[in-house]
Structure 1
Amino acid sequence: MKIQFLKDFYSNSSAKLLISLLFLVIAFFVLAVITDEMVLEKENNIDFVIFKFFNTHIVRNSLTGFMYAITQFSSATFIKIVYPFLIVVLLLFKLYRKALFTFVAGVGGLLLIYGMKMFFARPRPPYPLLYKEETFSFPSGHATFGFIFYGTLAYFIWLTDLPKVWKYIAMVFLIALSLTIGFSRVYLRVHYPSDVVGGFCLGYSWLFLMIFAFRKWYPID
């Protein structure tokens, strides 16, 4: 029964299923390693090596403004406006199941982020580039929620009747945007690289589980 459902999960496309499950396993593994080694054991040498690389080869005055602008696409202010707006639009078009998915994925993601930040209470990196953040550092809320939000948009686009080429273009753009947001958090030195990678892993895992659960018990397509 379970094996048959897994096959149906991607319309009997075993390659896509195996790739998605493989990424889920990798995401859980990487998140566990980061949590244990870098957050709990405070082995953050790799983080500071990456910071040094950024300072030497990437950080430029001409790029800083762009990075600051990009990071706003997953800021608390942006999410407070855009996420409820998306839910309202879905409700207006009577896409109730998609609206419920968006609400559950978003609220659940926020609770995960807040719970983990409070539990691990990891301090922010020293010497931020432009401004100081007051909340805890792990995991990166921008990276986690950005992946959930833009991943949700990509998933909804994939469920449409658009030609596949446009679906792929939209999905690549949205995933690239979420990755760039995470990159900007390291660039601005408001998060350790491990915070961002952990956030990506958490966001992907949560979104995958939400898609899996809804397709099994409350299909939206």
Structure 2
Amino acid sequence: MILSIFMVFGAVVLFASIIHEIFLEKEQEDDLLIFEFFRTNIIRSGLTRYMIDVTNLCSPVFVKIAFPVLIAVLLIFKYYRKAAFTFLAGIGGLVLIGLAKVLFRRPRPHYPLEFPETGYSFPSGHATFSFIFYGTLAYFVWLSRIPKALKLFLMFFLMLLSLSIGISRIYLRVHYPSDVAAGFCLGYSWLFLLIYYFRLKYPIG
């Protein structure tokens, strides 16, 4: 628990630091350097199709289907507290993303790799929501009674998937790297606070 509190404190500090650099100091050099690194070292025609598939694992269409299905499955098997947790995680995440985008109003990066995106850029909704959704699944895996080795593997896989979705947004140049980093910080902080609240008030595992 102490480590978790330390990590969420670090996430909040990093989120505040990004806001300071991008919106107060007007610094974008690091973002542009990372874009250039991707352009010269990572972007390949064969990899682009894969990155589009990865980014779609947290697209608005996917989220609109995946969250209700997960809640429905939990309700069918009478995991009512987990269903409530999932509902609050999703709704709270959407509210936080919407408020942040309206508050900061950061334009999208120029010259997207494959397709333009609409809406504001900061923070990355894909990064934020992928951490909330796949982090919720990882938390439920942690609470399960499956063998520890399988549990750790599944949790690692889910977190790696979330990280890959964030990287895909940078690769496709539809978000600045700082948008993605801020999204992960926001998603992690919200998920941690929700886990902490449920553990105190309504234990679900």
TM range, smaller chain = over 0.9
2:168 to 171, 174, 184: 184
Once the 2 structures are TM-superposed, how far is the Cα of residue 218 of structure 1 from its aligned partner? Answer: 1.2
For residues 55 and 26 of structure 2, the distance between their equivalents in structure 1, rounded to whole angstroms, comes to 26
Question: 1:129 is matched with which residue?
Answer: 113
Matches within 5 A, 1:128-207: 128-207=112-191
For 1:91 and 1:42, locate their aligned partners in 2 and report how far apart those are by CA, in whole Å: 47
CA distance in structure 1 between the partners assigned to 2:87 and 2:31 by the alignment: 34
Q: CA deviation at 1:18?
A: 2.4
1:104-137 superposed Cα distances (whole Å, 9 cap, x missing partner)? 0110010000010011000000000001111100
Cα distance in structure 1, aligned partners of 2:3 and 2:151: 18
Counterpart Cα distance in 2 of 1:33 and 1:94 = 42
Task: Give secondary structure in 2 for the equivalent of 1:48.
Answer: helix
For each residue in 1:144-170, what CA deviation from the matched residue of structure 2 results, as whole angstroms up to 9, or x when unmatched? 000000000000011111011111000
Match for residue 36 of structure 1?
20
Q: Which residue of 2 aligns with 1:219?
A: 203
Q: Which amino acid aligns with 1:219?
A: P
In the alignment, is residue 50 of structure 1 matched against residue 34 of structure 2?
Answer: yes
- Using the alignment, how far apart are the partners of 1:40 and 1:181 within structure 2? 28
Cα distance in 1 between the residues matched to 2:117 and 2:103: 18
Unpaired runs of 5+ residues, structure 1, are: 1-16
SS in 1 for 2:160: helix
Q: TM-score, normalised by structure 2?
A: 0.98
Kindly report the root-mean-square deviation, in angstroms, between the aligned alpha carbons of the 2 structures. Answer: 0.7
Distance in 2 separating the partners of 1:53 and 1:94 = 49
Unaligned runs of 5+ in 2: none
Q: In structure 1, which of residues 42, 57, 77 is the aligned counterpart of residue 61 of structure 2?
A: 77
Q: Distance in 1 between matches of 2:31 and 2:140?
A: 35
Seq. identity, %: 58
* In structure 2, C-alpha distance between the alignment counterparts of 1:138 and 1:40, rounded to whole Å: 14
CA offsets per residue over residues 37-85 of structure 1, 9 Å max, x none?
Answer: 1134321110000000000000000100000000000100000001100
CA distance in structure 2 between the aligned counterparts of 1:50 and 1:19, rounded to whole angstroms: 30
CA offsets per residue over residues 196-221 of structure 1, 9 Å max, x none? 00000000000000000011011111
1:98 to 82, 86, 91: 82
